[in-house]
């Protein structure tokens, strides 16, 4: 289960969303874990989670509440889990029973797995995905951007905790909203710039169960596939 497996565009398990977004730019995807988890998207939405490196204490506290709410509601979360706050969210999510998809900004061929990751893989709750080849062993800014696009393409909705005004994350959010991807941001005054872009304010207490998720994170683009 821990061994890497490549799936190319000729493989029935290769996600259609990647074909639509990247065309031929990502001919194959490296995976580690139970690939059957990808089929769960037929039954529940995949929600991308992005947490900025720099954010206020208010945003941090609400992000912790958000991670607990996503876990308790059984949301499948897909993220790079790279920033400190994203890593803490992952630890919270892995204490639940829902599915988690991690996408590092590097090859996962020889990625060293923390104990919690190995346990989740053994329990078939964690799937690792990467668009990078074996020799691309280190994260870079360019790979992080591709990784973020990769995550957003796979997700039914994108949830971002904060984006610095005028920064790359804000530009990325604008790109996603322009493309029609459902975009949410924590309901704090710090995210006024994202609301002005079209993001929908989200409070963790709105995530209360499966029906609330379907209403919040339903993606009309996914229904058209």
Q: What is the pLDDT of residues 180-208, one digit of tens each?
A: 889 999 999 999 999 999 999 988 877 76
Q: How far apart are CA 34 and CA 121, in angstroms?
A: 8
Q: What is the pLDDT of residues 19-37, one digit of tens each?
A: 888 888 888 999 999 888 8
This prediction has a pTM of 0.90
Tell me what pLDDT residue 168 has: 87
Phi, psi (deg, nearest 5) at residue 82:
-105, -45
Q: How far apart are CA 13 and CA 11, in angstroms?
A: 5
Beta-strand ranges (E) seen in the chain are: 5-8, 28-33, 46-50, 76-79, 100-102, 126-130, 157-160, 183-186, 200-202
User: What CATH number was assigned to the domain covering residues 5-223?
Assistant: 3.40.50.450
Exposed, middle or buried by CB within 10 Å (0-12, 13-18, 19+), for 223?
A: exposed
Q: What is the pLDDT of residues 126-139, one digit of tens each?
A: 999 999 987 787 88
Least confident piece of the model among 5-9, 10-14, 37-41, 106-110: 37-41
Tell me what pLDDT residue 221 has: 40
């Amino acid at each position: 289960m821990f061994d890497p497996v490549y799936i190319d565009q000729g493989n029935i398990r290769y996600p259609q969303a990647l074909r639509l977004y990247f065309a031929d730019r990502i001919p194959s995807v490296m995976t580690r874990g139970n690939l059957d988890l990808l089929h769960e998207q037929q039954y529940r939405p995949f929600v991308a989670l992005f947490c900025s490196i720099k954010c206020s204490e208010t945003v941090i506290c609400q992000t912790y509440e958000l991670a607990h709410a996503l876990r308790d509601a059984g949301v499948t979360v897909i993220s790079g889990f790279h920033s400190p706050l994203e890593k803490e969210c992952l630890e919270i999510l892995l204490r639940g029973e829902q599915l988690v998809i991690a996408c590092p900004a590097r090859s996962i061929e020889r990625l060293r797995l923390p104990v919690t990751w190995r346990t989740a893989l053994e329990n078939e709750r964690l799937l690792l995905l990467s668009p990078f080849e074996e020799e691309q062993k280190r994260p870079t800014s360019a790979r992080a951007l591709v990784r973020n696009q990769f995550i957003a393409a796979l997700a039914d909705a994108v949830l971002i905790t904060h984006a610095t005004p005028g920064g790359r994350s804000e530009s990325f959010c604008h790109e996603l909203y322009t493309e029609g991807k459902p975009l949410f941001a924590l309901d704090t005054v710090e995210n006024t710039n994202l609301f002005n872009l079209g993001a929908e304010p989200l409070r963790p207490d709105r995530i209360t169960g499966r029906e609330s998720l379907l209403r919040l994170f339903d993606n009309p683009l996914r229904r058209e596939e």
